[in-house]
Amino acid sequence: MVADLRNLISAEWLKLSRRPLGWILLGVFLGLMLLYLATWALIVMLHTSSLNGGRARFAVLSPAQITEIQRQISFPGIFGAVLGQVNSTGGICAIILAAGFLGSDYNWGTLRVLLTRAPHRGAYLLAKLITLLLGLMAAILLALLLGTLLALVCSSTLSLPLHLRPRDLLALPVGILRSLYVILPYVIITLSSAAFGRSALAGVGGGMIFLALDVSAGSLNTIGSINPLVRLLVNLLLQPNINTLVVLNSQLFGLDQSVLLSSLDLALLPSPFQATLVIAAYCVCFYWGAYRLLLRRDVMGAH
């Protein structure tokens, strides 16, 4: 079983690493991330008048917000900002990638070719998921590298402090794993949807619809203050729990997202322990759904 899984991961990695869609999505994600960070840098430039020779100042944001933005484009906050992007635009890219990764095997009829090689269907699904997570981890590392370069540029051009302590670097693995954990339920619901609809389109549709519903439902956390029961129910939704881990990741690198977004106030969100458990429960349910679909249904030709 372990040898089978290793073989399958190796095969899936070959497919993923050669797939143009993966590289395109990586390019889109890194491009959007750079745009986001460059916008913050521009705002800081406008605020400090370093762009227009002191003729005008950017006064829309409060000093606290400007300080927070400065933290996001300098060390160690850049890591939190990059990981924040991983959990927003990166999540959408991950959904598209996951849908294509499993759904295409249905679309092209290659699923039946792989499954006639006798692997257990569960091993096939697990190999897909592990390979996807490895791919996403590689993308996160690349994004962090790019963020580091940007922070170095910003530090020199905007005279921002260059504080990079060993403990910030040691916190990186925790941050990366937490970011992956946050993406995981969306990736798995996408795999389930692709298996249910037997196509990449069904995967994208399922993943995106879930994301939209979840984000909408997540806004209900403001009514959590009505009474403890409502708060308990709202906190069983995925989004508030995701937000908890996203905020924790920001704080890990000295950021305070609540300065920019009041909905990311940790006082209103579920506890880290509950967040971890709730996300795990969603992941298990979604994975079980995908596994049962793949195991019980017949596999025929291309769709």
Partner 1 sequence: MTQCGTISRFSSDVVFVVIHMKAAIVTESLTKRYGARTAVDQLSLSVGHGEIFGLLGPNGAGKTTTIAMLLGLVTPSAGRAIVLGHEVGRGPSPALRHVGAMIEAPALYPYLSGYDNLRVLARAGGIAEARIATVLQMVGMADRARDKASAYSQGMRQRLAIAAALLPTPELIILDEPTNGLDPAGTVEIRDLIRELAADGRTILMCSHLLHEVEQLCGRVAILKEGRLIAQGTVDDLLCRDSRIRLRVAGDQERAILLLRALPWVRGVVAEGDLLLIDAPVTRVAEINAYLARNEVAVTEIGARERSLESFFLEVTSGR
232 interacts with partner 1 by CB under 8 A = no
C-beta separation of 75 from 164 below 8 A: yes
Phi, psi for 287 (deg, rounded to 5): -65, -40
Place of tokens 């879930």: 210
Site for partner 1 in 20-59 (CB under 8 A): 20
2 interacts with partner 1 by CB under 8 A = no
Near partner 1 by CB under 8 A, which window of 67-75, 238-246, 262-270, 290-298? Answer: 290-298
Among residues 58 and 291, whose Cβ is nearest to partner 1? 291
134 interacts with partner 1 by CB under 8 A = no
Q: What is the chain's length?
A: 303
Among residues 110 and 222, whose Cβ is nearest to partner 1? 110
* Helix axes of 121-157 and 89-107: crossing angle, nearest 10 degrees: 150
Place of tokens 């530090």: 155
Q: From residue 74 to residue 113, what is the string marking binding to partner 1 with x (rule CB under 8 A)? A: ------------------------------x---xxx-xx
Among residues 108 and 288, whose Cβ is nearest to partner 1? 108
Q: How far is the CB of 295 from partner 1 (least distance, A)?
A: 7
Q: Which of 115, 137, 208, 260 binds partner 1 (CB under 8 A)?
A: 115
* Contacts with 288 (C-beta within 8 Å, 6 or more apart), sequence order: none
C-beta separation of 183 from 75 below 8 A: no
Which two tokens mark 26? 């990586």
Among residues 15 and 231, whose Cβ is nearest to partner 1? 15
Residues 157-168: b if buried by 16+ CB within 10 A, e if exposed: ebebeeebeeeb
Q: Would you tell me which residues interact with partner 1 (CB under 8 A)?
A: 3-4, 7-8, 10-11, 14-15, 18-20, 104, 108-110, 112-121, 295-296, 298-302
